[in-house]
Chains A and B, each alone.
Chain A
Amino acid sequence: MPLLRVQTQAPREVDLLTTYDAVVVGSGAAGGMAAHVLTSRGLKVLLLEAGRKLDIDSELKSMEWPYDHPRRGSIPPTHHALSAKEYTIRQPPYAADSPYEKVYSYVQGWGGSDYSKNIVVDEKEHPYSGTSYAWVRARCLGGKTNIWGRLALRLSDYDFKAKTHDGYGEDWPIAYADIAPYYDRVDRYLGISGVRENLPHLPDSIYQRPTRLNAAEVKLRDAIGRMGRVLTPYRAGVTTDGLKHNKYRTRCFGRGACSRRAGGCDIHAAFDSPTGLIYPAMDTGNLTLRTNATAHAVTVDPVTGRARGVAFIDTETRKTYEVNAKVIVLAASTLESARLMLLSKSAAHPAGIGNSSGHVGHNFCEHVMGPSVYGLVKDLVAKPRTLDDGRPGGFYVARFRNLDTRQPDFIRGYGFEGGSGTGMFPDNAYSTAGFGSSFKKQVRDRAGAFISMGGFGEVLARYEHSVGIDPELKDRWGIPVLRFDYRFTDNEKKMCADMTATGREMFEAAGIEVLSADSDMLAEGWSIHELGTARMGADPKTSVLNGFQQSHDVKNLFVVDGSSHVSASCQNPTWTIMALAWRSCDYLADQMRQGAFS
């Protein structure tokens, strides 16, 4: 039920004869931010998006009741969402030989989601190969920001200078002080909700009004506070007070829809790239948007070796085009930007554009998930029903490992996301034994008395963890696809064992009865936080980009998405992706003004 519907401008046609100031490839968090920053600096920008522009509000239907949907929210029976097991017992391509009409990644399985089936890709059209990997892709205007988890965290110098701290990997070529002003800008422009905690390892944002913790969460916060650990209300990339400068978004009205299905917000209180960044950019008059445009190569001037433009294929007509620009900004997502660079081979760049170091596709990292605890708060059993899910999220437990002390068997850290209270569906019903009136009563009495949390841990960036181009397999449009060579290793396994132990320990400290403490890792890719593959660095021999996400090799090529990250940190990446993209595009615009790309 959208509160407002503001018409956006009719999209303009791409002018293939003009040379744009910049072509941005991809319209998610990074590409949207590039479009916003560059158009507001007066550059003429063409934004290419591989997917469609969806009528997103009619897709999401955030407040539809299950019983008003013919299948209670599930996808059609001829469609299939991959299960956790399919990712572990099989190798990609997962949809090969599937009898189903369409196959989606696991994210479609959350609550059975008819509401996001058009947002994520059909795996049949977009195969990949190699090692097991749960790769979730959203090809539509705004990409994954349409359904992201909304946890909006900052990184700190514990992350940017992690090598200095523990000797592993590489430091980033920037420090927190470099990016802090841009985090501030992202906070103010897009809106974020949370509580200040003054933690050096989890810097505060400029917060709008926070959501509240419920009784079980307060109990856990107080107990782990005595252990020196910090539980804070979910830091949500959601505007809770509204944004006067953005007519496309509404403040949060606590409808609770964000924890159901695959997320998404049809009043756009939660940040998404189209309403947060792209529509305002179109209003400047400086942005041309071309959807259904899959970029398959960065073209190169054979004389200078510099980037000349982007070749793309229309996903519907299959016609190919080439468009020219002074600067090329890749923001196609960590893995798609790497794919595009590797595909862009030329005499000047035989290993792919910007890849003289051989590091494109390497140092691939992310977050590991799986370990979780689930418990019962006994004094909440049989209490009158409360409203607990009118919030964009529950809570976050900040990293506490390997800060001032050292763990003997693993490096880096992890945080927990969690929540408690009554949701629309009582998950305990499936696990409650028996039947009849006593079963009903037990389900009802306990439905609001559970609390759970799951860890997100840093996976170390390793050169040998990589993606490359499969020599044979192609997507529906004939474009060669990625082959994965990536597995969790010992540090992740030991970290996960520790997550389970500390999760249990914290629940027990709070007097919460632990019903289960899982230690299994979910499949690689499950966190949907792919990072690395075109890392920044000071040394052009061991990195792809400089500290402004500018190619060491090709000065008019920028890669402003998560592929530029040097290490994964354990904090969710979206806010950092946008702060970095803002900083780099500011630099790009400054350089252009000085004539650097003429």
Chain B
Amino acid sequence: MSDASDLTRRDALKAAVGTVVASQVTALRAAAAAPALRFFTAEEFALADVLCELLIPADEHSPGARAAGAARYIDGRLAEAFTDEPRTTWRTGLELLDALARREQGRRFVDVAAPQQIVLLERLAANEQKPVSAEDRFFVELKRRTVHAYYTSRVGIHDELEYKGNVMLEEFVGTDVSGDR
């Protein structure tokens, strides 16, 4: 597992110095420069990366899923998965979203303008409590993996949530100071 570990650390480092930027072209280039993908093809990775960033975008508060290396992390977990099931789910799911984009916008998902990408995802998100179509179900899986990858990342824990724990404290925190009554 040491290679996976190195991979994650390098990703985190890269995220920290902000070398991964927003456009999908750059993302593709970054993917080419980064350590080899382990499951996704370059095209699949570009789409997954766009989707992750749409779900949890960079904004004025903090960097998003791209800077957190979410798609790269998901790639590693899918590559290692014990059964083919999650790999099939993702490969098929990404194809479904591309097909949806071609149907609705006449082009691949990554080539659709950002506002229209959001419109497409909003249709799937509307059913997230009760997914109906295969696309709906993939949205739930996409979001579950992205949420986990993002909020366990350096960016998610420190920049976004400003988590203050996992430190040595002299005194216990809290508002109740009544102590022993």
| Interface positions of A (Cβ within 8 A of B) | 63, 65-73, 76-78, 80, 99-100, 195-197, 207, 209-215, 217-218, 221, 233, 240, 253-257, 385-391, 422-426, 429-430, 433-437, 439-441, 443-444, 447
Interface pair B59/A254, CB less than 8 Å apart: no
Alpha-carbon distance A443/B157, docked complex (angstroms):
12
Known pairs A210-B179, A444-B161; A435 contacts B81 (CB<8 A): no
Residues of B within 8 A of A436 (CB): 54-57, 118
Interface pair A77/B81, CB less than 8 Å apart: yes
Interface pair B161/A387, CB less than 8 Å apart: no
Interface pair A424/B57, CB less than 8 Å apart: no
Residues of A within 8 A of B81 (CB): 77
Interface pair B56/A212, CB less than 8 Å apart: no
In the complex, per-residue mask of B1-23: 1 if CB is within 8 Å of any chain A CB, else 0: 10011011100100000000000
Interface pair A253/B168, CB less than 8 Å apart: yes
Closest to B1 in A: A70
Closest to A425 in B: B151
In the complex, per-residue mask of B150-171: 1 if CB is within 8 Å of any chain A CB, else 0: 0111100100111111111111
**Which residue from A218, A386, A425 sits with its C-beta under 8 Å from B164?**
A386
Residues of A within 8 A of B174 (CB): 211-214, 388, 391
Alpha-carbon distance A388/B166, docked complex (angstroms):
11
- Number of A-B pairs whose CB atoms are under 8 Å? 164
Alpha-carbon distance A240/B143, docked complex (angstroms):
40
Residues of B within 8 A of A70 (CB): 1, 4-5, 7-8, 76
Residues of B within 8 A of A441 (CB): 61
Interface pair B165/A424, CB less than 8 Å apart: yes
Residues of A within 8 A of B61 (CB): 437, 440-441, 444
Alpha-carbon distance A70/B81, docked complex (angstroms):
13
Known pairs A76-B1, A436-B54; A254 contacts B172 (CB<8 A): yes
Interface pair A77/B176, CB less than 8 Å apart: no
Measured CB to CB, the closest approach of chain B to A256, in angstroms, equals 4
Can you give 14 A-B contacts (C-beta < 8 A)? A71-B77, A72-B148, A99-B82, A100-B82, A214-B175, A253-B170, A254-B171, A254-B173, A255-B166, A255-B168, A256-B165, A387-B164, A388-B165, A391-B172
Interface pair B169/A67, CB less than 8 Å apart: no
Main secondary structure of the interface of B (DSSP, over half): loop
Interface pair B1/A65, CB less than 8 Å apart: no
**Which residue from A63, A391, A447 sits with its C-beta under 8 Å from B166?**
A63
Interface pair A386/B173, CB less than 8 Å apart: yes
Alpha-carbon distance A70/B38, docked complex (angstroms):
14
**B144 on interface, CB distance cutoff 8 Å:** yes
Known pairs A387-B165, A435-B125, A440-B59; A72 contacts B176 (CB<8 A): no
Measured CB to CB, the closest approach of chain B to A522, in angstroms, equals 22
Measured CB to CB, the closest approach of chain A to B111, in angstroms, equals 20
**B80 on interface, CB distance cutoff 8 Å:** yes
Alpha-carbon distance A214/B169, docked complex (angstroms):
16
**Which residue from B143, B163, B170 sits with its C-beta under 8 Å from A422?**
B163
In the complex, per-residue mask of B89-121: 1 if CB is within 8 Å of any chain A CB, else 0: 000000000000000000000000000001001
Alpha-carbon distance A99/B83, docked complex (angstroms):
10
Residues of A within 8 A of B9 (CB): 68
- Chain B: residues with Cβ within 8 Å of the partner, total of 58
Interface pair B161/A253, CB less than 8 Å apart: no
**Which residue from A67, A221, A430, A439 sits with its C-beta under 8 Å from B8?**
A67
Residues of A within 8 A of B59 (CB): 437, 440
**B132 on interface, CB distance cutoff 8 Å:** no
In the complex, per-residue mask of B68-85: 1 if CB is within 8 Å of any chain A CB, else 0: 000001001100111000
Known pairs A436-B55, A440-B56; A385 contacts B162 (CB<8 A): yes
Residues of B within 8 A of A425 (CB): 151-152
Alpha-carbon distance A435/B143, docked complex (angstroms):
8
Top 8 nearest A-B pairs (CB, nearest first) are: A212-B174, A254-B169, A213-B176, A66-B152, A387-B164, A70-B4, A70-B5, A256-B165
Interface pair A435/B55, CB less than 8 Å apart: yes
Alpha-carbon distance A385/B159, docked complex (angstroms):
12
Residues of B within 8 A of A77 (CB): 77, 80-82
Interface pair B82/A389, CB less than 8 Å apart: no
Measured CB to CB, the closest approach of chain A to B133, in angstroms, equals 17
Alpha-carbon distance A211/B176, docked complex (angstroms):
9
Alpha-carbon distance A578/B7, docked complex (angstroms):
46
Interface pair B166/A430, CB less than 8 Å apart: no
**Which residue from A66, A69, A257, A390 sits with its C-beta under 8 Å from B157?**
A66
Measured CB to CB, the closest approach of chain A to B169, in angstroms, equals 3
Closest to B153 in A: A67
